[in-house]
Chains A and B, each alone.
Chain A
Amino acid sequence: MSAERPRRGAGAVLRRIPPVLAMVLGLIGLWYLAVIPMNVQEVLTRAERAGVEVSPPSAVERRDMGNWALVVRNPGTLGESWSLDRPRLPAPHQVLTELYESTVDEELNGRRGIVRSGSLSNRGLVYHAMVTLNATFVGFLIGTGLGILLAVGIVHSRVMDMSVMPWAIVSQTIPIVALAPMIIVVLYSIGIQGLLPKAVISAYLSFFPVVVGMVKGLRAPGPMQMDLMRTYSAPKGTVFWKLRLPSSVPYLFASLKIAIAASLVGAIVGELPVQQGGLGARMLAGSYYGQTAQIWAALLMAAALAAVLVWAIGRIEARTLRRMGMAQ
């Protein structure tokens, strides 16, 4: 069976490539198209400065016109759309160039890069990604631990069952961007700063899916399973360790996939007000200085991180379930 698995896996991956590729190419095409109207104002201003005739010639009139109308009236002067220095929407290749320059190029050739200085450049995306990843992991661990503890309490205590869930739900209805600065200020005032406040925000987002999934998982054993335990006169602790906990494992992993992505979002949001490194700080800096390519590069980095993290949880899930005998 194990000899067959990689072959089957490779086949499945190969079959998936054409549709995924088509989707990606379609999105990139749309992106290139969207760049034209998004950047048309700036392109026409620059063309006018360069002495080219644009329609309408008045900058004020252009400002009040729709972007598509400007595109239609100036079809010949749009060549610069994909190569502006400070585009409103950078073209994909500009984002990729920025991504390359702030990762590989910065580390290999930069004065502060890992090759010349021996440590990751604090101007590079890799460094900022690591900062975010640290907060993500700590937040994920706190959130998962808290979520599991709450779920155990909810399942075993009627009082907690009635009282905790409504608060957990309310906690998730408050916009995290509103709450994050407050958490940071409050923690700072009691002397906690650096990684931990970000991790707390991260945990705030990630505990919720774990609570919901674990409560469902711990309650997964049916009445028959519970009756069987009763016929053995099994104490509550035994029922928990031997029945409830193993039953909850598939539910836990489904929750962990959501929780790790939420942790990443929490860490990034926690970095916005602090500006001490991290992808969130990078995004905000990009928006301060009109470096949209930098924002998009940081976004792509965050998306790639999220994909890798969710994939990693998926691998651990598959391994665990196979080892438990619950998957083939």
Chain B
Amino acid sequence: MTDTATAEVPGQARDAGAPVIEASHLDLTFQTADGPVHALRDVSLGIPKGAFVSFIGPSGCGKTTFLRCIAALEHPTGGSLTVNGMTPDEARKARAYGYVFQAAGLYPWRTIGRNVALPLEIMGYGKAEQKERIARVLELVELSGFENKYPWQLSGGMQQRASIARALAFDADILLMDEPFGALDEIVRDRLNEELMRLWARTEKTIAFVTHSIPEAVYLSTHIVVMSPRPGRITDVIESPLPKERPLDIRDTPEFIEIAHRVREGLRAGYQE
């Protein structure tokens, strides 16, 4: 099946052209009763098209905040941030990204199919096109046949897959994922990681992925961004030498272990400062 998303990203899109997401000297300070909190300080990062970028770090390091800035759910207090060459607000209006939250957050009063249709309804797609898109994205997340089930009839992992389908439904080039598998158990998580890899290979979307699991970050990513807290900042950006084709047992190879080690070192360095 060829979908319109891939049509817009011809061939191997990881060229050295302009990054889809570009942050330079980004600052975000929250004013709280206990004084200012520096959620992000001097964050500069370019995310190339088609990349799978993981953000890893302890809580309070600003990884989720950075993702929310890209989604225009938070607004930086300094520096610049562009998404597809636009401001985050413009990019949101141009349907540049789909956002997947930690909880599936499906509407209990809608079937899986209707849940996936939610953004399509809001964005004004016609009935026939909605139907076609629902079928296509449910197939992508391997939930074909569950269209008419209600969320309570699905397991947690299946619900999260449905929420990924919902984020994919309107063909945004960028997928923002905020610890999407954080609430799931290890076995389900492995499976979803594998599926996400396949999905990424098929759709060639640019994915920004927040996690606190080192194996998950190393397994999934082309780029691993290590962050540290107080103030939230980037301490290391690791480009993964792993091949694009990644079976689960790649996690036992020396290359994998070496990258994991480097990530761990980066995290530790952030603590010691």
Q: Which positions in A face B, CB cutoff 8 Å?
A: 224-225, 227-228, 230-234, 238, 242-243, 246, 249, 324-326, 328
Contacts and interface: CB of A to CB of B under 8 A. Distances in A.
B109 A324 contact: yes
Contacts of B92: 230-231, 233
Contact of B73 (A230, A234, A238, A243): A230
Given A224-B101, A242-B121, A231 B109 contact: no
A325 B113 CA distance: 13
A233 B93 contact: yes
5 contacts: A224-B101, A230-B73, A249-B109, A325-B111, A325-B150
B99 interface: yes
Contacts of B123: 232
B118 A242 contact: yes
Contact of A231 (B73, B107, B108, B150): B73
A129 B92 CA distance: 59
B97 interface: yes
Given A232-B119, A232-B122, A328-B152, 8 more contacts: A227-B73, A228-B99, A228-B101, A228-B105, A231-B73, A234-B122, A243-B107, A246-B107
A227 to B, nearest CB: 6
Nearest to A325: B150
Nearest to B121: A242
Nearest to A249: B109
Given A227-B73, A227-B101, A231-B73, A325 B108 contact: yes
The 5 residue pairs across chains A and B that have the minimum distance between CB atoms: A324-B109, A325-B150, A231-B99, A232-B122, A246-B109
B71 A231 contact: yes
B110 A325 contact: yes
Give the secondary structure class of A's interface: helix
B242 interface: no
Interface of B: 71-73, 92-93, 97-99, 101-103, 105, 107-111, 118-119, 121-123, 150, 152
B134 to A, nearest CB: 16
Contacts of B152: 328
A246 B106 CA distance: 13
B122 A225 contact: no
B122 A242 contact: yes
Contact of A238 (B101, B105, B122): B122
Nearest to B172: A231
A149 to B, nearest CB: 22
Among A234, A243, A249, residue most surrounded by chain B Cβ atoms (within 10 Å):
A234
A324 B150 CA distance: 10
A315 B98 CA distance: 40
Given A230-B73, A231-B92, A233-B93, A326 B99 contact: no
Nearest to B103: A224
B35 to A, nearest CB: 24
Contacts of A234: 122
A326 B107 CA distance: 9
Contacts of A224: 101-103, 105
Nearest to B170: A232
A238 B111 CA distance: 19
Contacts of B72: 230
